[in-house]
Amino acid sequence: MSLKLLMGNEAIAYGAAEAGVQVACAYPGTPSSEILETLAALAREKGFYAEWSVNEKAALEVAAGASYAGARALAAMKQVGLNAASDPLMSLAYIGVKGGLVIVVADDPGPHSSQTEQDTRKFAQFAKLPVLDPATPAEAREMVKYAFELSENLLLPVILRPTTRTCHACQDIEFTDGAAPARPLTGFEKNQNWTIFPSLSARKHVWLNQQQEKARELFEKAEFNQLSIDSSNIGIIACGVSYNYVREALQLSGLKASVLKIGTPYPLPRGPVLELFRKAGKILVVEEQEPVVEDQVIALAWQNRLTVPISGKNDRTVPREGELNVDRVRAIIDKFCGREPAGPEAAPAPAPELPARPPVLCAGCPHRASFYIFKDAARGTDAVFTGDIGCYTLGAMAPLAAVDTCLCMGASITIATGLNRVEPDRRQVAFLGDSTFFHSGLTGLINAVYNSANITVVILDNCTTAMTGHQPHPGLKQTAMGPARTSVDIAGLVKACGVEYVRVVDPYDLKAARQAAEEALSRPGPSVVIMKRECATLAKKGRRRTINLKKCLNCSLCIGKLGCPAIRKGSGGPEISAKCFGCGVCAQICPAGAIEAAGQE
């Protein structure tokens, strides 16, 4: 027996390895990224395959293929990634699986790092797939193992939906030493039921609906749903991580209540809910995001002609937006129980005021130079700059202000193309990163070439997937499990798509890069400039710069145009701090030559 301190995402990975996962796939996205990072680290030792796929759709499809051959497979992503994977997801519910297939979708209530606050449990209902919602890292690990068994029992994919606090919380977890038993592969067996013709869909829809009731029956006995009865007439139903908030809030307030913990929100087990109805005079449902459990509880009460009052999101007792915490849940319970909210003396001490820290590109980030170059090259025009999802979204911040739109992964090129159809005399410039180009930008580029859009595409190639933790992608000779035999050359791929003007330049070389930018902006049809320079957080620092105040004109161009966090206003003029990366871009834009390498005469 051993004890390990694991983050929730690590616990999920360990649970999958213990369950005998044989194929694991993911595309990185906060708060889910550490799941595959941990699985990749375990893969060789445990003897399974792990990959960073080019996007979530590919990840799910690779995992589905493995499942068809009888393997236990896992696909991981964040909630927005499920949108990209929704096409195979919906059909997969009808086709079904052979080996256990677990889809881990990490939700981001808040949201802390996402475009949306969407609730994956709604997606599970829509797809008619069972979903599990862990309250702690330890429970997440156990749920993964249960999910594989459930998937094979129902012949359906099963969704595990941790939220940010479960993904990133840490907990001591006990392990029994010993490897997971090897699972023999039965292989793919040819059968017409793997091909989704309309006649099959009509037949399988009946089967899929029947599986809902079978899943519900299994959830009636699942250990993840626990009812604790109290003599109070108050009943609280809590789902996922909200259960922890409810328990702590009750402890702090001194209130008593019967509490039903729900770990299997869809399909909702009816037995424990009906038992709580028999004990409680009124019921509060506490869950993050959408009223998934609450709506099912209301429907169950109506079907059973129960008149117990039910509060939650529908009567606005519980907010439908944002992340919950102990303080918010305590106030909700106080209100539900008719108590005044805890007074100032009971409230926790306010957090100290923190200095303002607006999001900004790192010192030395090559993307800053790329934005500066294209803004400068387009000066005097009314060019539109379409952005994408990644570190480079921060190009929207002042003083660069070089991102006018941002929708979703890979949309910068297609948004630019759409704008160009309406305003053909205006230049559109689409920015996206190297990993995003492989994720879903390539399709947009082919569309732009095929339809002769007059746009310029700027691929910000920093040789990594930086925002989510430097995961590899097909442009690198590196996979999740180690070195790769080859890599995909972005410039060659762009040329193969039919782009006639393709240039690869170093954004630190402002003169050469600006020339490429000007040429690209003046060309008809789609043009592509690849700004290639390693991410500053991975590269070796250069020689630090300093400002010679004897030469400085105090024009503030270095501060007002570039926005590097290493440059600031000082009492005698601009100053360069120890944050300087030594990229030398600021020295190239200084009109007086006042920015010099440190130690220079």
d(CA 52, CA 21): 16
Torsion sign (Cα): 450, 451, 454, 460: negative
- Phi and psi at 10, nearest 5°, equal -65, -40
The one-letter amino acid code at 23 reads V
383 Cβ contact partners less than 8 Å away, ≥ 6 residues apart: 426, 427, 428, 429, 521
Residue 411, CB half-sphere, CA atoms under 13 Å: how many?
Answer: 14
DSSP secondary structure letters along 57-99: HHHHHHHHHHHHTT--EEEEEEHHHHHHTHHHHHHHHHH--SS
d(CA 124, CA 281): 31
Annotated binding site for [4Fe-4S] cluster: 552, 555, 558, 564, 580, 583, 586, 590
Q: SS3 for 379?
A: coil
DSSP secondary structure letters along 470-513: -B--TTSSEETTEE-S----HHHHHHHTT-SEEEEE-TT-HHHH
Give the residue ranges of DSSP H helices in 155-188.
164-168
User: Which of 493, 418, 495, 498 lies closest to 54, judged by CA?
Assistant: 493
Total number of residues shown for the chain: 601
Q: Which residues pair with 101 in a beta bridge?
A: 73
Are 525 and 451 a contacting pair, CB within 8 Å? no
Annotated binding site: 552, 555, 558, 564, 580, 583, 586, 590
Q: SS3 for 546?
A: strand
Burial string for 388-404 (b: 16+ CB within 10 Å, else e) reads bbbbbbbbbbeebebbb
d(CA 167, CA 174): 18
Other Cβ atoms within 10 Å of 565 Cβ, number? 17
d(CA 442, CA 17): 33
d(CA 37, CA 393): 24
For residue 561, what are its two tokens? 């145009």
Are 543 and 582 a contacting pair, CB within 8 Å? yes
For residue 52, what are its two tokens? 């960073």
